[in-house]
Amino acid sequence: MPIDLRQVAAIAGMSGLFKVVKPTRTGVIVESLEENPKNLVAQARHRMSLLDEISIYTIDKEGTVPLAQVFDLMHQKYGDKLPLGDKPDNEDYKNLLADVLPEYDEERVYVSDMKKLVSWYYIVKDFVGFKEAEATAPEAEAEEGKEERA
């Protein structure tokens, strides 16, 4: 997948996202993903979830889609700016997710999840970044091979 979320975490009760820096004896040192990053120690009492392990419920046979794949679909479709106004309502969030992931499970994915998804998307875009699709590399090598043979 074009985005690596293995070191990005959400901590229950704290807004924003955090980059896992290194483990300690009693927890993990994390750095906030914001303009002025702050370091803190997330201890065992904090509920921490790595974004790489989070998925969105779907109604297809797979049952879920990894968050990284949803972010990638959002980035491919909309780039840096999602089609939401200044004060989007619940229907705006539902339409956005239905547009990106038509098979999402409407009964198990709540609007609060969608709001978090949008918020996290912008943080990941700004502080983690999206990589270019890897499919372009083999095509470029094939083109180079044709030029060398000519």
Q: Per-residue pLDDT for the chain (150 aa), expressed as one digit of tens each?
A: 467 899 999 999 888 999 999 998 889 999 999 999 999 999 878 899 999 999 999 999 989 999 999 999 999 999 889 999 889 999 999 999 999 999 999 999 999 999 999 999 999 999 988 775 544 444 444 444 444 444
Sign of the Cα pseudo-torsion (50, 65, 113, 74, in order): positive
pLDDT at residue 21, rounded to an integer: 94
The contacts of residue 128 (CB under 8 Å, 6+ apart) are: 3, 4, 5, 8, 33
pLDDT at residue 53, rounded to an integer: 95
Which tokens hold the place of 34? Answer: 């914001």
Does pTM top 0.85 for this prediction?
Answer: no
Options 1.10.150.20, 1.20.58.390, 1.10.520.10, 1.10.10.1650; CATH for 55-127 is 1.10.10.1650
**What are the residue boundaries of the structural domains of the chain, listed by start?**
8-50, 55-127
